[in-house]
Amino acid sequence: MKLRALSRDDIQSAVPMARAISIVKDAFAQLSAGQARVPERAHIDVTRHEGIALFMPAYLEKTDELGMKIVSVFPRNLEAGIPTIHALVTLVDSSTGQPSAILDGTYLTALRTGAASGAATDELARPDARVAAVFGAGVQGRTQLEAVCECREIAEVRVYDIDRAAAEAFATEMSSAGGRIPDKISVAGSSREAVADADIICTTTTARSPVFDDADLKPGVHINAVGSFKPEVQEIPGETVVRSRLIVDSREACWAETGDLIIPRDQGLISENDVFAELGEIVAGVVSGRVDDDEITLFKSVGNAVQDVAVAAAVFAEASQTGLGVDIDL
């Protein structure tokens, strides 16, 4: 049996961000239409090392794609100078059950997470959005910015991170990235400075409490919140959640996993009925997105295996045509 191994570079060559956004939109549409089977992901706490491992399978029925991602999040890795997140994605031939490919899930996770925010930005941000703020100067922050810039003509970016050196490195790197990313990227000295007049905000941190104040937001801002995936972790102020048009990737997963929603719910600020829609419902045209220029739109994502499997399948299909990757005999 041969297994195709695909690296970060292979993934980048096969599926650029613009295509990843389109793929993720279709995956979310399948999810919301009941055309995907996605068991709740399994969490294993590795308390000895303050880490967590997640196992995320999915089958997309419409596109007949099957696979699973294994991802680990170990915040203490930063002390050793290695990434917090590592991941591996496995694809399985849905007609035979035979494993067909393994992919670098670390970059694929960043790509598909950015693509989800790109999809939400495309559907929900004001058409005239020009200023973006990014909280978190890691790998996820980079693909968030890339995706947002694919969907709006961003002219100015502000990045904020509690590690100022990381934010400065982000600004230096991304200002010369080219493509649709502007060269005007500055390091914000505070969260207030970051969000002042921001049209789009992306939060991608490991913070356990809100990263900005609700009072500092301008009318009409769109927020992509992707950092919180545990019930006790909250990036977004409860006041913001209350007054936003709230869109999620998956109702079931978000109410089970993210403190961004669970904490204000338990405080009596919101109920589960306050989720306006899943992103897949908006993509499919079942419901509308933004209704006026002044409303705040909030896309809350905890990540879903349909994203990983759909993007991985597209990478594998391209690799099969172009010869990307390495075949491994098992």
What is the C-alpha separation between 105 and 70, in angstroms, rounded?
8
Interior/surface letters 166-192, b for 16+ CB within 10 angstroms, e for the rest: bbeebbeebeeeeebbbeebbbbeebe
Residue 69 annotated as catalytic: yes
Active-site entry in 69, 184, 230, 300: 69
Strands 36-37 and 222-225: unpaired
In Å, how far from its chain's centre is CA 158? 19
Q: Which residues are catalytic?
A: 69
